[in-house]
Each structure stands twice: as C-alpha cells, then as structure tokens.
A and B are shown apart, each in its own frame.
Chain A
Amino acid sequence: MAKSAQRLGTVVGVNGNMVAVEFKEKVMQNEVAFVIVGEETLKAEVIRVKGNRADLQVFEDTSGVKIGNRVEFTNQLLSVELAPGLLGQIFDGLQNPLPQLAEQHGFFLKRGAYLYPLDKEKKWEFTPKVSVGDKLRAGDTIGIVKENMFDHRIMAPFDLQGEAEVKKIASAGQYTIVEVMAQLKTDNGKTLDQTMVQTWPVKIPIKAYTQKLKPVEPLVTKLRLIDTLCPVSIGGTFCTPGPFGAGKTVLQHLLSRHAEVDVVIVAACGERAGEVVEILEEFPELIDPKTNRSLMERTIIICNTSSMPVAARESSVYTAVTLAEYYRQMGLNVLLLADSTSRWAQAMREMSGRLEEIPGEEAFPAYLESRIASFYERAGLIQLRDGTQGSVTIGGAVSPAGGNFEEPVTQATLKVVGGFLGLSAARANARKYPSIDPLESWSKYTSFIDAEKIRLAVGMLQKSNSVGQMMKVVGEEGTSTAEFIDYLKGDFFDSVYLQQNAFDKTDEASPADRQKHVFGIVHEILVQEFDFEDKAKARRFFQELRQNFINWNSSAWGSDEFSSAEKQIREKMEASKLATV
C-alpha cells in the first residue's frame, strides 16, 4: 500500500494488551492495525470506537509501547489466506506458520514476527474446469490442483456478487499460488485477476452455497459409546465438557485420528503446548486406513497454547473454522475439534474486563452466549451449486470451572449443540475409557444402529445402575436374583461394549459394520431370560462371557480369530439356554 494512502493514528493509552489510539480520518470496526514500537510492528484489531479514540486489542505483549507511538491502519478485517498448501501445516491463531517462525527465530516466539502462511514458490499442477465465456457465481470451480489426496478447487471469489464472465483462463500446467489463473469480468464491469489465493475475514462465515441441509447421516467416530448412544451427524455439532483429568484431550486426539471424515482441523486453543507436540510427533507416523497416507496429510493444526498472547487465542477458533469452511466448499467433510472453547471464552472475558464493559455471570461478557451460538452455527451440511455436498462438523471441548456443568460457558454451549458428551471424573478414575457418562450424555442425532434396540440397552443400563446404587445400601443379599441379573447385564454392556481399550490396536477403533454386528449379539444377551441357581453362578457366567468378549474385541474384524471367538460366545449362549430349559 502506498504510504500516502495510509491512515495513521497515535497511541494515547496502554492497559495490558489493550491500546487506545487517537485517529484523524476514519477507522473501521474490527480493522487490523499495526502499532509501531521501534523496530517492531505489533498486529492489533480495532474492537471499539468512541469519538476520535479507538481501542485496539494487540495480539502481542505490549511492553515498551509508549504514548505517541505511531499506529498504521490497514483497511482490512482480520483475515486468513486460503489456497492450496494448507493441509499438514501448523499455524498460530493468526495463521503464522510456526515451524517456519522457528527456523527464523529459534526457540522463542519473537514479538512482531509475522510470516506469510503459504509457500509462494511451490508449483501446483493446475487443470482448468471452465472456458472463456463461461459465467460463474461465487464459489464456482475455476480449476483444480491436486493437494495430497484431494482435488483442491480453485474457486471464484466467495464474495462475488452476481455473475462474472471468464475472460481468460490459464491452460493446464504448473503454477504457483500467486500467479493469475483466470481473469473474470463482473456484472458491474469490474475485472478481477484471480490467483489461487483468496483472502477471507475470519469472523464472517463463507456463504457461497445454495442451501444448508439437515444433518442426518451419522459421522462414524469408531468409538462405540458415541456412535451407538450419543451419535454425531456429519455437519452437526457436539461438545465434550469435563473436569481436568477426565480425558478431554485424549478423546479429542482419538476423534482426530479415527473419525471418518476427509479433513480434520485441530484448534489447540489456550491449552497445554505439550499436548500439541504429541500430535506433531504422532500424526506423521500414523497411516489413515481409508487413504493409506499419513494422517498429517489430512490435518491442519491451529495452535495458540495457553502461554501465547490471549487476543490471538480469541481469533484462533475463527481462523480454524474459516479454514474448515474453505475445505467444505470443495465438497469435503471437515471435522473441527476445538480444545478448549472455555479458554476462548476466557479470552473474551479478559478483553471485556479491559474494556470495562458491564459484566454478566462470572464476569463473562453479556454477549458470551451469542458468540458461542454463532460459532457453532458455522457448522453444517451444505449443498454447493454443482449439486455436491460438503460439511463442517464442530466438536468443542469445554473446561468448566470446578468441573461444574452449571457454569455459563457449558450452559451456553448446551443450548446450541446437537450432542452433549459429558465426561465424568468418576469414570476416568475407575479407568473406564472413554470416560463419557452414558446416562447423562445425550444426542439429537440418529445412530446407524436400530433406535429401538438402543432404547432397550439404555434402559438396562439405567436399571443396572439403580440396582447397583441399592446394593451399596442393602448389600448383594438384599437384592433378588432377577434384579442381580439385570445389574450384571448392565455392567456387562458397559464393560464389553461401551468401554474400549485405547491401548489395543484393534479395540481402539471399531468400524461401523463391526459395531452393528457386535451390538446385535450384545442385544440378544440383554434380552435373553436367564435362570441361574444362585448369584454366584450368574456372576461367574457373566465374568466368563466378558472375558470371551474382551478377546473378541481385540481380534481383527473378519479374521479367523474373530469368527472362532464369536463361535465360542454363541456356544456359551446356547449352553445357558439349554441349562434353563
């Protein structure tokens, strides 16, 4: 931008990461500005304007900022760069590539160091999909490049209004992302030079689609408890609240590894850096069974951990969801996992406090609920103009203060999500994995397993639980054998089906077909009438059956071992029937 055109301001106040700036001409709400401190330029965003004073939240440490420091306004909203080459990358909350920053600045994050997120030198194999004279609308495909295993669509600008005519189109060949691929002429006579890159403001949803559809198809997570009892739909939303130590992050890691989607975006928002490192070390080594390529090739990590600047934490979830929407526009199914949305809410609270806004509950700002709602509403299943469908599914971890689900962030989240997977410390302490509470959790989506059968299984679980509670008071001898058998059935269902062994290569992830098959037999056992002589015999029967199931769970789907384990279970069930006749 030419210097003369630049709007300038002057710092008149500093309070934490909030800087007050006096300006002359105009400012735009949520405009990006740079505060110039000596050699360093600190990125900031306008968050409030009063008279000729604008309040900026600075995405960096503000030490050394002085009254009178120069501020440059950019006339742009906080935006991300969308182009081939995003997959497999690790960005901070402002889309700076972290490994590249490390190459330049070493161990520490240098204040005011920003890098272009994408490789401008790399050449991509472009295939045009339109011809000169074609009419395009926002989001229509101009051509494709191959990014890892996907056809990455190069699209007409998402904010294009009306139609545009293709005036020029690049021929098939190798291009970098900054070369002009097409020249478009809009309705109002403007000419656009379209490269592979689109710049999009993170806080505005991409809406270049014909309609939003109801999410109905189940998203297979390969975790039996989720897929069977509290399923998630493709294009749906869910949250995983839980106290510390209940296994939120472990659950998110497993979802990011096993979920049957095309692209996974992990937003590590205000959590431990060490946990991100585990993903970074693991994912390049792990192979996605569906595509036979490393998991990293379908993953993008947005990493703004707890000790990184708090304002950038606030923007990191928006950066993540914008990238998700971008890949959705290519007809792909994207899963966004945000860990943790509570830290994002806290970042809003910090800024709200600095702005001296009137606080709501627990000092969270009054707009907390609407912000959370509009974030989750960016999920969805959409139909594109060419008839294909794409989706963004959002799963947010919530870290409620004191493990109490009554707090504002959990409650605001529950209002807008379609699935509630509540993690329980009691289950985690008892080493029951996944530690989702099967009785408290719920989902509005439908499972791939027959709903009637699920209702029966849950009923058995509830009965078992209440008998278990009763036995704590009156002891085993105070319950009838029939009640005791119900107790054993529920316990059996929990331990062989709902729980999974995360250290067992096979049991760790259970595909949909296998779940249907195994649940069929579990259901048969749950409905079967048993007539045992005494409680000890009943207990022994279920203990043995459980051992059989555990062996069965760890044998590979479709293997000989699998069928022989199943045969053993069948025989055992038959034998128990004969005995009672």
Chain B
Amino acid sequence: MQKVYSQIIQIAGDVITVEADDIGYKELAEVTTDKGSSLAQVIRLDSGKVSLQVLAGSRGVSTNDKVRFLKHPIQVSCSENLLGRIFTGGGDPRDNGPSLTDNMINIGGPSVNPSKRIVPKNMIRTGLPMIDIFNSLVESQKLPIFSIAGEPYNELLARIAMQAEVDMIILGGMGLKYDDYLFFRDTLEQHGSLSKSILFVHTASDPTVECLLVPDMCLAVAEQFALEGKRVLVLLTDMTNFADALKEIAITMEQIPSNRGYPGDLYSQLASRYEKAVDFEGAGSITLLAVTTMPGDDVTHPVPDNTGYITEGQFYLRGGRIEPFGSLSRLKQQVNDTTRADHRTIMDRMIQLFADYRETLEKRSMGFQMSDWDGKLLRYGKRFEEELMDLAVNIPLEQALDLGWSILADCFEPAETGIKDSLVKEFWPKEATAS
C-alpha cells in the first residue's frame, strides 16, 4: 500500500536525499539496508527532493536501499509498561525486554499556554542538605548542574534519583560513557528505584541523531504522566553533548554557525526543552535537572551561557560538592518560608559564616596570624564541609536544620552568630558545649 522509494540521490553526513511525493515535514521513514533497518526523519523538503536524517547513521546505506515513509512523525509509546525499562534514544529497548507499541504519542509537542501556568509552591525534598536547606528545589523548576569533566555529576544525579520525593523519575542520558550507563542502571536497581524510573540512554558510541531525540522522548513521556497527575522528575545528562550533536547536524546541513560553531538557534532549541518544565493546575508536574558540563570550566561558553538565561538558577558542582557560592535556586523563596521558622535564618547565617570561613582560609594561606575568631571559623567551616556539603549525606530537611544548629552551637556563642534572640531561644541546643 505504501510506496517504497529505492533511489537515494545524495548521502552527506547522516542525511540522505530521495525524490518522493506527498511527504510531510518531520515525517518518519524506514530505511532498509543489507545490515538491518533504521528510522529516518524528514528535515528538509525542496520541490521533489526529500532530505532525511537517518537515526542510526548513514554508514552502510547504499544508493539503491529502500526508503518507506510511515506517514507519521517520531513517536514514543507511553504507558505504565515503560516503568522500569531502558530504551535507546530512538525508543528501542536497550534491556532485552519487548519493544512497546501501545499508546504511541508524538514527541516535541506544542508549548504550554503561559496563561495556564501557575506560580510554583511545592518543594521537592532530596535529602541533600546543600539543596534542601540552601537552595531548595521547587516543583516545576528547571535547573542545570554546571560542572566540569571528572566531577561526580552522574553520581549526584543518581543520588537525587534515589532520594527525591517524587512519583517517578525519567532519566535521559546523552553521549554517556557505557560505564556510566551501567552505573546508573545498577545503582537504581540496587536501591529499588528502577521500578519507578524510565531510562532513555544514548551512549557515546550510538548514532549522533539519537542523542538529539533523548530530551524530547523523556519530556514527551514526562508530559503524559504529569497530565495524569504524576509528579515527574526528569534528569538529563549531559546537555553539552546534546548541544554538540545539534552543532554536528547543523554543520552537516550547511547551516551558518553563529558562536563557536553552534547554530544560531541554540537558545531556542535549549529553551523549547527546558520550558517543558511545568506545574499543571489540577494535575501533576515536570521538574527538570540537567547536567551541563562547561568546557574549560568556562561559564561564558555558549552552552552554559545560553542555559543560564533559560533556567531558574543553577547548581555548581566543584570538588565533589555543591558549591554554596554561585549556586542559586531562583524559586526557593516560594517554598522556604513555610517549611520551618528557622529555615531562612539558618540558610542566610550559615552561608555568611561560611563566607567568613573562606576569607579566613585565604588569610591563613597568606600567612596572617589567626585570631580566636579565626579559629572558631576554621572549626565551623570544616564541620560544615564534612557534615552538610558531602554528597553522601542523606538526611531530611528538619534533621539537617537541627544539625546546622548543633554545628553552630558547638562552634560559636549565640551572639556571635547574629541570629535574632527569639530563634535562638527556640532552637539553640540546650546542651551545647560551646567553647
């Protein structure tokens, strides 16, 4: 019934061109070669010529291979059956399970009407004090984790996946090392979190085009579950690989590059993904955390720079810890006034004291004499780093606040902390061993 075309007139990069009629823009086709078959997507129409991006790459495609158009755009199955499963960027099973075809939905759907959005008001607890106390994550927030190669950003994501209080996790891997993929799979499995997770993973050796599909697949599925009332947390790693894949395809398509080779629409491309984070009134929500590695630790690189303009704050991961300075959750004040009376005070004062500690460290390294006060700060800073900043710490917010008070009480007199008397009276530990 469907017409099959068997004359490919051009192959450049992963893009092939055939002559065909009645083809819709962004429609999907199946390319069958000697070695198997792959999906391909229409990315340009010019008179009778149809250019397609081959998802599995064009290697091994010959000019007389068969192209069959499927009359629909890229779709993904979306149902409860996806839970606990792992797929490729193209939506095929990666875990030896059956492939799914029920309830196929289009990816990359329309954006939410801004007048239907609501001001977010629910906190997502992660068990990490550096997030919960100092930069609370808020439902429907979109936040990048700025980091550099070699930092344990995937460990951090895995930890958040296991600890975050949400209904389900969708994890998208782009350009992941195979080891990292196994790490995610095994960690989630061991902690029993896999059953509430869906993974779309593109590894570094998979075709580039599939890398581009990962965020759209994740977010399309997330959107469906959110509309059904689920609170979904989407974790993406690494968006810089996604941007690099965009760059690769754009250059192949002979688009004029704008900044360091990236296409001019990088901002819009990133924004259309990040803006999928939303709180549906009367239904669920999508919250988005995305690792963005900064080439050369340079925040002005086009990928982190454009990301910063889109997202609602950022976390910096440095030296294996979430850095308190520079990290910012722009939405935290929406939620941290209703958690506990001392939350904001602890947040402000502990960070200011920690800033003083950093100054003291600097003074010490320059050989200045250390005063009593410096000694107190050094003791405080060390405990702060070990007991609150370490990524292995997993305690609920209330316990973390209590821990904050006990660190303060062990290091300082109440008056030295600059905390107002009413709070000191209520929260200062009674058996403090202040020196």
Asked if B44 lies at the interface with its beta carbon under 8 angstroms from chain A, I say yes
Identify A111's interface contact among B110, B274, B310, B328, CB under 8 A: B110
Check A107 against B264 for contact (C-beta < 8 Å): no
Check B272 against A67 for contact (C-beta < 8 Å): no
Instruction: Note all chain A residues with C-beta closer than 8 A to B112.
Output: 107-109, 273
CB-nearest residue of chain A relative to B273? A307
Asked if A205 lies at the interface with its beta carbon under 8 angstroms from chain B, I say no
Check A306 against B310 for contact (C-beta < 8 Å): yes
Asked if A566 lies at the interface with its beta carbon under 8 angstroms from chain B, I say no
**Bound CA span A363–B264, Å:** 7
Asked if A128 lies at the interface with its beta carbon under 8 angstroms from chain B, I say no
**Bound CA span A106–B22, Å:** 32
Partner-binding segment picked from A8-16, A25-33, A572-580: A8-16
Identify A402's interface contact among B24, B25, B305, CB under 8 A: B305
**Bound CA span A278–B118, Å:** 8
**Bound CA span A105–B113, Å:** 9
**Bound CA span A549–B267, Å:** 44
Asked if B399 lies at the interface with its beta carbon under 8 angstroms from chain A, I say no
Check A363 against B110 for contact (C-beta < 8 Å): no
Asked if B280 lies at the interface with its beta carbon under 8 angstroms from chain A, I say yes
Asked if B116 lies at the interface with its beta carbon under 8 angstroms from chain A, I say yes
Shortest CB–CB separation between residue B271 and chain A, in angstroms?
3
Asked if B73 lies at the interface with its beta carbon under 8 angstroms from chain A, I say yes
Asked if B115 lies at the interface with its beta carbon under 8 angstroms from chain A, I say yes
**Bound CA span A102–B120, Å:** 19
Shortest CB–CB separation between residue A334 and chain B, in angstroms?
23
Instruction: Note all chain A residues with C-beta closer than 8 A to B96.
Output: none
**Bound CA span A68–B50, Å:** 13
Contact A102:B113 (CB < 8 A) given known A15-B44, A63-B24, A277-B118: yes
The 8 A CB mask of B23-59 against A (1 = contact, 0 = none) is 1111100000000000000001111100000000000
Instruction: Note all chain A residues with C-beta closer than 8 A to B312.
Output: 272, 274
Contact A281:B272 (CB < 8 A) given known A13-B46, A14-B45, A349-B258: no
Give residues 103-124 of B contacting A (CB, 8 Å). 109-120
Contact A346:B267 (CB < 8 A) given known A63-B25, A307-B272: yes
Identify B111's interface contact among A108, A245, A356, CB under 8 A: A108
Give residues 246-271 of B contacting A (CB, 8 Å). 255-259, 263-265, 267-268, 271
Check B256 against A98 for contact (C-beta < 8 Å): no
Check A64 against B110 for contact (C-beta < 8 Å): no
Shortest CB–CB separation between residue A246 and chain B, in angstroms?
11
CB-nearest residue of chain B relative to A343? B267
Instruction: Note all chain A residues with C-beta closer than 8 A to B265.
Output: 310, 346, 350, 353
**Bound CA span A347–B265, Å:** 8
Asked if B300 lies at the interface with its beta carbon under 8 angstroms from chain A, I say yes
Identify B275's interface contact among A105, A273, A399, CB under 8 A: A273
Check A346 against B275 for contact (C-beta < 8 Å): no
Identify A66's interface contact among B22, B267, B331, CB under 8 A: B22
Q: How many residues of A contact B (CB 8 A)?
A: 63
**Bound CA span A268–B25, Å:** 30
The 8 A CB mask of A497-522 against B (1 = contact, 0 = none) is 00000000000000000000000000
Check B110 against A109 for contact (C-beta < 8 Å): yes
Contact A306:B264 (CB < 8 A) given known A63-B73, A359-B256: no
Contact A68:B22 (CB < 8 A) given known A244-B308, A273-B275: yes
Instruction: Note all chain B residues with C-beta closer than 8 A to A110.
Output: 110
Check A65 against B24 for contact (C-beta < 8 Å): yes
A-B contact count (CB 8 A): 170
Shortest CB–CB separation between residue A49 and chain B, in angstroms?
17
Asked if A303 lies at the interface with its beta carbon under 8 angstroms from chain B, I say yes
Shortest CB–CB separation between residue A319 and chain B, in angstroms?
15
**Bound CA span A90–B114, Å:** 10
Check B23 against A66 for contact (C-beta < 8 Å): yes
Give the residue among B44, B113, B280, B328 with the most A Cβ atoms within 10 A: B113
Asked if A456 lies at the interface with its beta carbon under 8 angstroms from chain B, I say no
Asked if B127 lies at the interface with its beta carbon under 8 angstroms from chain A, I say no
Check A90 against B268 for contact (C-beta < 8 Å): no
Instruction: Note all chain B residues with C-beta closer than 8 A to A280.
Output: 114-115
The 8 A CB mask of A361-379 against B (1 = contact, 0 = none) is 0111000000000000000
Asked if A61 lies at the interface with its beta carbon under 8 angstroms from chain B, I say yes
CB-nearest residue of chain B relative to A407? B259
The 8 A CB mask of B80-118 against A (1 = contact, 0 = none) is 000000000000000000000000000001111111111
Asked if A403 lies at the interface with its beta carbon under 8 angstroms from chain B, I say yes
Contact A67:B21 (CB < 8 A) given known A110-B110, A349-B264: yes
15 CB contacts below 8 A, A to B, read A20-B46, A61-B110, A62-B25, A66-B25, A98-B113, A99-B115, A109-B110, A273-B114, A276-B117, A281-B119, A349-B264, A350-B265, A353-B258, A362-B258, A403-B300
Interface on B for A, CB 8 Å cutoff?
21-27, 44-48, 73, 109-120, 140, 227, 255-259, 263-265, 267-268, 271-272, 274-276, 280, 300-302, 305-306, 308-310, 312, 328, 331
